[in-house]
Amino acid sequence: MRERLVQAVRRWRVLQQVTPATRIAVRRDRQGPPPEDPGIQASVEAALTWLESAQDHSVSADGGFARHYHIENGWATSYPETTGYIIPTLLGCAGRMSRPELHTRARRALDWLVSIQLASGGFQGGLIDSTPVVAVTFNTGQVLLGLAAGAAAFGEPFLGAMHRAAVFLRDSLDSDGCWRRHPTPFAQAGEKAYETHVAWGLLEAERVAPGLGYGDAALSNIRWAIGRQEPNGWVRDCCLDDPSAPLTHTLGYWLRGVIEGHLFTGEARLLAVAERTAAALMKPLSSDGRLPGRIRPDLQAAVAWTCLTGVVQLAWCWLRLGALTGKAEYLEAGRRANRFVRRTVLVDGPVGLRGGVKGSQPIDGGYGPFQYLNWACKFFVDAQLLETELGPR
């Protein structure tokens, strides 16, 4: 109770520093999203338009995707990390929707990423204009997802950059399977179980260029990270800044990496581990599809706001597990979570808002407050398209 009071006071103080129009928007948002569901097709089309705008309006104008749109400050500079994993989404949509312009946009983003790769093969943390500029494990893994997709789609122009990033990650892994040598300066220090999402990047590199140890390194990390799972499915050391109450966003990273490990190997153990956490995270899922933004070790809510990024990441995981296991409860959870986030997305409105996905619901919550985040939009598209792929209930 005391912690929630502290959070409420902090949010009140922040609201005193924004414009009256923003305060009105926050009050409206706190009443909850509108009841209408715009549907998958309309919301995905709007979200892709938002991503196009994020590339076109990035303040750094370099081919990357603006990290966010802030409702008072506008567009940010480009964000290498998330530009990396937006690329596979664009390439997939280009073919699926017969939209060749998305293919062109992905190529433009790839060219930019190759131009900023560090001599070590790694990629920097933070925005393109952030300092210090140092190679970071997590960001490199996310860019690797894009480079592997680029190498598969376009071949030689991106194969060398993919290998340099994959070797950087393969060779910096500690013997127990944990990455410790190149931490981000923009998060709390310590081991990060959610770097299974880095391991996924190595798995994609292994698919493009097998036999170089990329897959072995990835699986070593995944096996280390599943040792952080508690018997009730909660995961230790799985947050940017508060391991005692991890974000659903970073729990979603961990879970996706474990699922990808199962998809790569077919190991039943990894599927069982993924199911334990997926089932655990369904417990705080409300009937309308919302989740608390942070989860305590007892699987109870640590905050009142929702991290929309985490909701759609977990929606994808529930849907995929439902398809893998045939269990209807996973499919229902994924559809319910997707529907909730769709209700928060505007399919009409001004550039910057139309098709964007907020950091938090309400918008002044504790994750990306007052911002529409490019990675939230990317994961939103992925989850909606997976629901479409799996068909009606």
pLDDT in tens, 198-254: 999 999 999 999 999 999 999 999 999 999 999 999 999 999 999 999 999 999 999
Task: Look at residue 91 and tell me if it is in a domain.
Answer: yes
Say if residue 205 is in the same domain as residue 333: no
CATH assignment of the domain containing 219? 1.50.10.20
Instruction: Summarize the confidence of residues 173-198 as an average pLDDT.
Output: 97
Residue 347 lies in a domain: no
CA dist., res. 182 & res. 133, Å (int): 12
Q: Which of 9-13, 18-22, 153-157 is modeled with the greatest confidence?
A: 153-157
For residue 7, pLDDT over 90 is answered with no
Residue 272, both tokens:
């069982």
For residues 287 and 259, state if they share a domain.
yes
Say yes or no to pLDDT of 100 above 60. yes
pLDDT of residue 356 exceeding 90, the answer is yes
pLDDT at 174 over 70: yes
Q: What Cα–Cα distance (Å) separates residue 231 from each residue in 259, 314, 315?
A: 18, 19, 22
Q: Lowest mean pLDDT: which of 12-26, 259-273, 379-393?
A: 12-26
pLDDT given at position 8? 65
Q: Say if residue 308 is in the same domain as residue 324.
A: yes
Count other Cβ atoms within 10 Å, centred on residue 323. 15
- Domain end among 226, 255, 284: 226
217 and 108 inside one domain = yes
384 plus 239 within the same structural domain:
yes
Tell me, what's the pLDDT at 14? 66
Residue 22's pLDDT is what?
84
Whether residue 177 lies inside any domain: the answer is yes
Please report whether residue 41 resides in a domain. no
Question: Do 247 and 279 have their domain in common?
Answer: yes
Looking at the fold, whether 209 and 253 belong to one and the same domain comes out as no
Q: What is the mean pLDDT of the chain?
A: 95
324 domain residue, yes or no: yes
Instruction: Give the contacts of 69 (CB within 8 A, at least 6 positions apart).
Output: 54, 57, 75, 76, 352, 353, 356, 371, 372
Provide, rounded to the nearest whole percent, the portion of the chain with pLDDT above 70.
95
Q: What is the pTM of this model?
A: 0.95
Look up the domain containing 211 and give its range. 80-226
Shared domain check, 188 and 147: yes
Of the candidates 126, 122, 113, 130, which has an alpha carbon nearest to the alpha carbon of residue 166? 122
- Count of domains forming the chain: 2
Residue 5 pLDDT level (bands cut at 50, 70, 90): low
Task: Yes or no: say if 97 and 51 are a contact pair by the CB < 8 Å rule.
Answer: no
Q: Which of 261, 263, 307, 242 is nearest to 281 (CA)?
A: 307
pLDDT, position 23:
80
Same domain, 192 and 321: no
Q: Give the model's confidence band at 64: pLDDT under 50 very low, under 70 low, under 90 confident, else very high.
A: very high
**104 lies in some domain:** yes
> For residue 393, is pLDDT > 80?
no
| 68 found inside a domain | no
In this prediction, residue 54 has a pLDDT band, given cuts at 50, 70 and 90, of very high
Asked whether the predicted pLDDT for residue 133 surpasses 90, the reply is: yes
Which of 62, 6, 114, 55 is closest to 366 using CA atoms?
6
Contact 77, 128 (CB under 8 A): yes
Same domain, 202 and 306: no
- Domain end, chosen from 226, 251, 280, is at 226
In contact, 146 and 83? CB cutoff 8 Å:
yes
User: Does 71 reside within a domain?
Assistant: no
| Banded model confidence at residue 2, pLDDT cuts 50, 70, 90 | low
Q: What is the pLDDT of residues 254-310, one digit of tens each?
A: 999 999 999 999 999 999 999 999 999 999 999 999 999 999 999 999 999 999 999
Q: State the pLDDT confidence band at 32, using cuts at 50, 70 and 90.
A: confident
Q: What share of the chain is helix, strand, coil (3-state, %, to 5)?
A: 55, 5, 35
Residues 200 and 258 in one domain: no
Q: Which of 222, 176, 182, 174 is nearest to 198 (CA)?
A: 222
Check the CA dihedral 317-378-139-188 and report its sign. negative
Task: State the residue for tokens 């709390």.
Answer: 188
Does 15 or 190 have the greater pLDDT score? 190
Identify the pLDDT of residue 11.
66
Based on the domain organization, do 97 and 221 belong to the same domain? yes
Among the three residues 178, 207, 226, which one is the final residue of a domain in this structure?
Answer: 226
